[in-house]
Amino acid sequence: MTDAPFRLTSLAHGGGCGCKLAPAVLQELLAGAPQAGPFERLLVGTETGDDAAVWDLDGDTCIIATTDFFMPVVDDPDHFGRIAATNAISDVYAMGGTPIMALAILGMPLGKVDTSIVRSILQGGAAICAEADIPVAGGHSIDSPEPIYGLAVIGTAKKTDIRRNSGARAGDALILTKGIGVGVYSAAFKKDALSADGYEEMIASTTLLNRVGAVLARDKDVHAITDVTGFGLLGHGLEMARGSGVDLEIVFSAIPFLSHAQALVRQGFVTGASLRNWASYGAEVQPPEGGMDDWQRHLLTDPQTSGGLLVACAPEASQRLVEEIRAAGYPATHRIGRVSSGPGAVRLWQGTEPQSGRVVGNG
- For residues 81 and 73, give the distance between their C-alpha atoms in angstroms, rounded to a whole number: 10
197 within 8 A of 79, measured Cβ to Cβ: no
Beta-bridged to residue 101, according to DSSP, are 154
Check whether 17 has a pLDDT greater than 60: no
Check whether 352 has a pLDDT greater than 80: no
pLDDT confidence of residue 36: 56
pLDDT confidence of residue 10: 77
Check whether 190 has a pLDDT greater than 50: yes
Whether residue 17 lies in the annotated active site: yes
pTM: 0.91
174 within 8 A of 336, measured Cβ to Cβ: yes
- Note the Cα 16 to chain centre separation in Å: 11
Q: To 10 degrees, the CA torsion angle through 169, 173, 174, 175? A: -130
Share of the chain above pLDDT 90, in %: 81
The string of pLDDT tens digits covering residues 80-108 is 999 999 999 999 999 999 999 999 999 99
User: How far is residue 9 from each of residues 6, 73, 265, measured CA to CA in Å?
Assistant: 9, 6, 20
Q: Pick from 53, 276, 19: which is nearest to 144 by CA?
A: 19
The string of pLDDT tens digits covering residues 165-182 is 999 999 999 999 999 999
Domains and CATH numbers, the chain: 8-161 (3.30.1330.10), 173-349 (3.90.650.10)
Map residue 247 onto helix, strand or coil: strand
The confidence band for 9, taking pLDDT boundaries of 50, 70 and 90, is confident
Catalytic residue among 17, 19, 62, 129: 17
Amino acid at 101: M
| Sequence-ordered list of residues with C-beta below 8 angstroms from that of 31, at least 6 positions apart, any chain | none
Check whether 41 has a pLDDT greater than 60: yes
- For residues 308 and 232, give the distance between their C-alpha atoms in angstroms, rounded to a whole number: 11
| Sequence-ordered list of residues with C-beta below 8 angstroms from that of 261, at least 6 positions apart, any chain | 179, 180, 181, 184, 185, 299, 302
Q: To 10 degrees, the CA torsion angle through 346, 350, 351, 355? A: -50
The confidence band for 159, taking pLDDT boundaries of 50, 70 and 90, is very high
**Beta-strand pair 136-143/61-70:** unpaired
CB atoms within 10 A of CB 113: 17
The confidence band for 8, taking pLDDT boundaries of 50, 70 and 90, is confident
